[in-house]
Amino acid sequence: MATIEQTLTRLKQSDFRAKFHLSKKDKEYISQKGMDKIRSHAEDFIRTRLAPKNPENDGKQTPMRGHPVFVAQHACACCCRGCLNKWYKVPLGTALTEKQQEKIVNLLMAWIESEIN
């Protein structure tokens, strides 16, 4: 199993994934809300939009912008179940476990932290 650092390095090698970056507005939002609140949002988004067995509007449930976590999801290939399957071999048609959700959130937060530092 790859570490977060190894995964981030691999994602940067993808032309599509590497094009995602936090905007000035995203960074200001993070500064205003704090990282704990952003993590809470990430946990909620993953639990409600990605974790169900058959997510509603799968493949279209994650906007490309509008929240730092949405941008991170696309940058980290955690935006839909198809990308999770392609990049991380997460089976389709099964609900994500709490452990899987935690790993996704940790990856998203690491990406966000790398963007603001």
Q: Is residue 17 part of a domain?
A: no
Give a yes or no: residue 4 inside a domain: no
pTM assigned to the model: 0.95
Residue 87 inside a domain? The answer is: yes
Instruction: Report how far apart, in Å, the C-alpha atoms of 40 and of each of 44, 87, 103 are.
Output: 6, 24, 14
Question: Is residue 8 domain-resident?
Answer: no
* DSSP, res 66: S
**What confidence tens digit (pLDDT) does each residue in 3-62 have?**
999 999 999 999 999 999 999 999 999 999 999 999 999 999 999 999 999 998 888 889
Are 109 and 38 in contact by the 8 Å Cβ rule? The answer is yes
**61 in any annotated domain:** yes
Q: 68 with 26: CB under 8 angstroms?
A: yes
HSE value, Cβ hemisphere, 13 Å, CA-based, for 56: 4
When the pLDDT of each residue in the chain is averaged and rounded to a whole number, the result is: 96
Confidence of residue 113 (pLDDT cuts 50, 70, 90): very high
